[in-house]
Amino acid sequence: MDTIRTLIVDDEPLAREGLQTLVQKESDMELVGQCEDGKEAVKAINKKKPDLVFLDVQMPELDGFGVLEKFDITELPAIVFVTAYDKYALKAFEVHAVDYLLKPVDSERFRATMERVRTQLEMKKSNSVPKKLTALLEDLASKKKTLDRLVVKTGGRIFFLKTDEIDWVEAAGDYVKLHVGPAAHLVRETLTELESKLDPERFLRIHRSTIVNLDRIKEMQPMFYGDYVVILRSGTQLSMSRTYKEKLAKMLNK
């Protein structure tokens, strides 16, 4: 067995430290990095190409499942979930036979997990993609819930805004500006992050800096070079890049 290049992803320093100690006790394991959030994990997996990732399920902004969704199943390393879920939630993992470690991680359980990991890595050498992990990701995709409300803080007040009230969204650096009728609200989130949470049957990106609520579209008018202007019922005019035109046409023709 070759050296198992290992990455630890957990937003809790003590959890990372505990896993590091266990990893360093295994003669065939090499720790190639530690990440404290999902975004950092995506970059590290792309750059370091680890054989194994200990992946925390619950992390702010981008959780463990969100990290997995950034990759094609054939590109994924071996995954061991690290979780504080109770026994009922753990059944979901057991059904798919994706291994997990329950916090705080027990050394005996860790060794048992590593035996499963070594077996999985041997399977991967023969180009056998772990079918159970594939099943888990497909199940997650089918059950993934879209965001139905946002918490907006404005002038010391907190608003609970239903997403179906949003007319359109524009990028504003590390923020997004939500346009709701004549009002606009800033939320600290990138446009790409928000796009992944909104209902794709209702919201569509029409430009690299714009997402629109399809229910608000009144008409589309062609412009130069295949671009369009999208006119909302409120009279607001938005630019649509030609790269998004075909996708919008398919959505409107459903």
Together in a domain, 44 and 134: yes
Q: Worst-scoring range by mean pLDDT, 68-77, 189-198, 222-231?
A: 68-77
Which CATH number does the domain housing residue 95 bear? 3.40.50.2300
More confident residue, 244 or 249: 244
Angle at 21 between CA 17 and CA 22, to 5 degrees: 120
Side chain identity at residue 102, one-letter code: L
What are the Cα distances from residue 87, in Å, to 83, 92, 100, 190?
11, 9, 12, 34
- 64-122 per-position pLDDT tens digit: 888 888 887 667 788 888 887 655 455 555 544 457 888 888 899 999 999 988 988 88
147 token code pair: 């965001």
pLDDT for the residue numbered 218: 92
110, 143, 176: which is the final residue of a domain? 143
Count of domains for the chain = 2
Q: Worst-scoring range by mean pLDDT, 91-105, 183-197, 208-222?
A: 91-105
Nearest to 101 by CA among 5, 11, 15: 15
Together in a domain, 172 and 244: yes
Question: Whole-model pTM?
Answer: 0.52
Together in a domain, 94 and 130: yes
- 163-184 per-position pLDDT tens digit: 999 999 999 988 999 999 999 9
Give residue 78's domain range.
4-143
pLDDT for the residue numbered 83: 82
205 pLDDT higher than 60: yes
pLDDT for the residue numbered 88: 43
Together in a domain, 205 and 108: no
pLDDT for the residue numbered 95: 47
